[in-house]
């Protein structure tokens, strides 16, 4: 038997999500380093995703184990990204097309 919980203020959550979206758009147009912009955008996206998961998916009112089950895919994704990042950096990338030498004799 679960205890009854207070109904969340969905309009307040909407305004928080709207404010975070406006901040995301503002961050895109700021003259900051690309890495800092990416870090800020990922942080803002994670905060928006956590608000949606906590209130619209009602994870805030569930037992802690259900929340841990919901966080497991996020942790696995981060682990895979960091595990595969060295492979991406070690691969030489060709960004320009080099002129090929002709094989016909002159």
Task: Give the pLDDT band (50/70/90) at residue 9.
Answer: confident
Pull the structure tokens for residue 26.
């503002």
pTM above 0.85, yes or no: no
What are the tens digits of pLDDT across the range 31-55?
989 889 999 999 999 999 988 888 8
What are the tens digits of pLDDT across the range 55-104?
877 777 777 787 678 778 888 988 988 888 877 777 676 666 655 555 65
Q: What is the DSSP string of the chain?
A: -PPP-PPP-HHHHHHHHHHHHHHHHHHHTS---HHHHHHHHHHHHHHHHHHIIIIIS-GGGS-HHHHHHHHHHHHHHHHHHHHHHHHHHHS----SPPPPPP-S--
Q: How far apart are CA 76 and CA 60, in angstroms?
A: 21
Domain extents in the chain? 10-87
Pull the structure tokens for residue 73.
């895919």
What is the structure's pLDDT at 62?
Answer: 73
What is the structure's pLDDT at 91?
Answer: 63
């Amino acid at each position: 038997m679960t205890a009854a919980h207070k109904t969340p203020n969905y309009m307040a959550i909407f305004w928080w999500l709207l404010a975070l979206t406006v901040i995301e758009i503002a961050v895109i147009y700021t003259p900051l380093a690309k890495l800092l912009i990416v870090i800020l955008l990922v942080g803002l996206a994670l905060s928006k995703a956590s608000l949606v998961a906590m209130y619209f998916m009602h994870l805030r009112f569930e037992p802690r184990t259900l929340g841990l089950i919901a966080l497991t895919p996020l942790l696995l994704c981060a682990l895979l990204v960091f595990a595969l990042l060295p492979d991406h950096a070690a691969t030489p990338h060709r960004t320009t097309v080099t002129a090929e030498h002709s094989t016909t004799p002159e």
